[in-house]
Amino acid sequence: MPLDQIHISLPSQRLIGLSAGALVCDYPVSTALNGAGERDGSGCTPRGRHRIRARIGAGQPEGAVFIGRRPTGEVWSPALAAQYPARDWILSRILWLCGEEPGFNRGGAQDSQRRYIYLHGTPDDQPMGVALSHGCIRLRNHDILSLFELTPAGCRVDIHEQTIESLLPPMNQTE
């Protein structure tokens, strides 16, 4: 069942995906080392309401390397990483975000889309649950592959400073 909403918790470093209010997926992530912020050049992860603007990488192998949203034909490996130690690796799939809040994360010097903020895969040697990115939301390669298949273009994405527990749907309770 396709997702209709994704929530990303900055303090919890987790992403949950919902469909019709039901929890479908829950993944650890890595957001920005520089924390939360919307300004271009800040290296921060933007907060607020977004949508998936574009889905990039369908049909590429797990670990496919992207530069400028285009596959390079390379597949990440430790040897490739040693050859290009300064690269910020964008791997497997890209879900490109577009801010929906004019003056906050859309338009001007705080536009998430023009900042190229993505959900994307990262090398498996990179830690999850720890803020280390340059602004994007990093996921394990197998997690971004699963998320990509569940996520249509236009899916709502909310990036919060609340804990993941406060974002989870209530459990079904029996009386």
Which residues fall within 8 angstroms of residue 140, CB to CB, at 6 or more apart? 27, 28, 121, 122, 124, 128
Choose among 137, 172, 138, 143: nearest CA to 158.
Answer: 137
pTM for this entry? 0.94
Q: Kindly tell me if the per-residue pLDDT of 169 is higher than 80.
A: no
Q: How confident is the model at residue 101 (pLDDT cuts 50, 70, 90)?
A: very high
How many secondary structure helices (H) and strands (E) does the chain include? 2, 10
Confidence check: pLDDT of 20 > 50? yes
Q: What is the per-residue pLDDT for 96?
A: 98
| Whole-number Å distance between alpha carbons of 16 and 9 | 9
Span 122-132, mean pLDDT? 95
**55 alpha carbon, distance to own chain's centre:** 12
CATH number of 5-166: 2.40.440.10
Q: What is the pLDDT of residue 171?
A: 62
Residue keyed to tokens 């080392």: 33
- Sketch the domain layout of the chain as residue ranges: 5-166
Long-range Cβ pairs for the range 72-78 (8 Å, 24+): 76/123, 78/125
